[in-house]
Chain A
Amino acid sequence: MSKIEHDRTHHAAKATGIGDPQCFHGEAGPAKFKVGDEVRVRNLPDLFYTRCQVYTRGAVGRVTEVVYESPAAEDESWDNTDQPEWFYSVVFRQKELWPDYPDLYENDTLETEFSERWLEAP
């Protein structure tokens, strides 16, 4: 991150013909969670930029898919692509996200993705 003159084309050079997030494949190391794991969404500070929705913070869900490796949005928004992470698709019961969700529809769920830093064992 000590680039004096910023290179605007480095992402294009890396991703052309490969795709994004495919171009970060193999850069995140071993995945911390696996399909079926219960996870809790951490409530980290998000001073400048985040894509982790506030309505999911603190909720417990289940990993349905280990989806891809990519820099977290919080880093990538500043063009810091040095440390890609695993991303996980997590399913929550709606009742877990919205405590007054009607009991009649207790089967309803919501699925969304998180980078690894946002998840912890419950």
Chain B
Amino acid sequence: MAEGHTHPAAPMVDEVSDFEVLEMAVRELAIEKGLFSADDHRRWTEYVHTLGPLPAARLVAKAWLDAEFKKLAVRDGVKASLEVGVDWINGPPTGFGTPSDYCNLRVLEDTPTVKHVVVCTLCSCYPRPILGQSPEWYRTPNYRRRLVRWPRQVLAEFGLQLDPGVEIRVADSNQKTRYIVLPVRPDGTEGWSEDQLAEIVTRDCLIGVAVPKPGITANATRPVHPAVHPVHHEH
């Protein structure tokens, strides 16, 4: 620390939730008891942070271009995932999924009259092997409890306003199936390559809170609210 730098350091995080405290306590107890080592935990954490939504975007692009592959994806998502490099069953680190990555993926096919959107009202079940870690908003009680009750209003907050004639189908992922959405291929993408198509299939499109549009290759930024109970440092 620099000479004469006396004011307290800023907190590294705004807020530590009760669940984070609980996770740390259980983790430390498990390490003390020898269920896994601190090194196992580090390797697992590093591994899950290497995962992201690119394989799922690739799966959608392939399905748009290849009708046979689309049929396979809708029938057997786990098998179709192999073609984009995701092995749900033999993938690291466990070889059988973690308790929240059960090896049952359903690809929900949108049509011009049916729009799927995914939530887990119980916790935040998410197809992590093919989508990576869920965004923070997906885990909030606000999204989880409101999406099943007011899906149109919640989608409108994401900037997605749908015609009343379109059936919104909410998939509540609260048992062992994990879902991704296969959106409708947008107009203006005629003749595009698989790479070009994969670029516009963002994570939000795969959860179902957005639809792909030519030129849009990033998720919408969500508002960040200040912590309700900020961390206080007295030292």
Contact = CB atoms under 8 A, between A and B. Distances in A.
Contact of B174 (A21, A94, A112): A112
Contacts of B94: 12, 16
Contacts of B174: 51, 53, 112-113
Chain A residues touching B, range:
35 or more
Interface string A49-65: 00101010000000000
Nearest to B98: A20
B175 A53 contact: no
B96 A18 contact: yes
Contacts of B170: 94, 108-111
Interface in A1-52: 8, 12, 15-23, 51
A87 B151 CA distance: 25
A21 B165 contact: no
B41 interface: no
Contacts of A107: 164-168
B101 to A, nearest CB: 9
A55 B148 contact: yes
A67 interface: yes
A112 B151 CA distance: 15
A53 B96 contact: no
A89 B174 CA distance: 11
Contact of B172 (A20, A21, A73, A111): A111
Contacts of B97: 15, 19-20
A87 B167 contact: no
Contacts of B96: 12, 15-20, 23
Given A19-B103, A68-B176, A108 B89 contact: no
A97 B152 CA distance: 15
Contact of B175 (A73, A94, A97, A108): A73
Nearest to B96: A15
23 contacts: A15-B96, A16-B94, A17-B96, A18-B96, A19-B103, A20-B102, A21-B103, A21-B104, A22-B89, A55-B121, A68-B104, A70-B176, A94-B170, A105-B152, A105-B168, A107-B166, A107-B168, A108-B169, A109-B168, A111-B169, A112-B171, A113-B174, A115-B175
Interface of A: 8, 12, 15-23, 51, 53, 55, 67-68, 70, 73, 87, 89, 91, 94, 97-98, 104-105, 107-115
Given A19-B97, A22-B89, 11 more contacts: A12-B96, A15-B97, A16-B96, A18-B89, A51-B175, A53-B172, A68-B104, A105-B164, A107-B167, A112-B171, A112-B174
